[in-house]
Chain A
């Protein structure tokens, strides 16, 4: 987990609220990723960013939004449009440009909808 921090560790959201999950890295990585983890389903890609001010939708982007204003930071907003947001959210980063690069993960944020 070293080099990538996520906050908060636990987050509780009421119905209809937007919440933002923080992800910061000090690895000088260009690429950053957000994954959602549900029991028995592995990890699914929400959004990814290869460089600052650019990002692309992953496989399950509906109901989520991101920004990439700084190289170190890639916050994820879970909007009220996300119908089933309770999950474990993982941020990752890697150097960009090579298919051999390793993604390194943060410690995760567990989001629960009340």
Chain B
């Protein structure tokens, strides 16, 4: 079965420090991976995606993610955290169990990032 896991419910980091939000996945075939951010009572905003090619993907707001095939991980990173980065972060993987016919996404349970001033 295709799945994605976010092992940390919450990540705390001091402003200015680097941050990492973890994501691991399980798929059959090539993975198509996404990161979204959600601010309170708002919809999800797309940050970045991995399709193929370079293992380091750069996205919006200074975020990047590192794809690691051997560890089946797609961790979200930022070199210097801002208080305004505090939000709920979701990792998602394309569901290919139907051959990709429907472009469905499977979401992790989310990680709350808290950046302290």
Contacts and interface: CB of A to CB of B under 8 A. Distances in A.
Interface of A: 1, 4, 6, 31, 33, 35, 40-45, 48, 50, 56, 58, 88, 90, 92, 94, 96, 98-108, 110
A102 B49 contact: yes
B102 interface: yes
B17 interface: no
Contacts of A58: 104
Contacts of B109: 40-42
Contacts of B49: 100, 102
A106 B108 CA distance: 19
Nearest to B108: A42
Interface in B84-117: 90, 94, 96, 100, 102-105, 107-110
Contact of A42 (B42, B102, B103, B107): B107
Contacts of A42: 90, 107-110
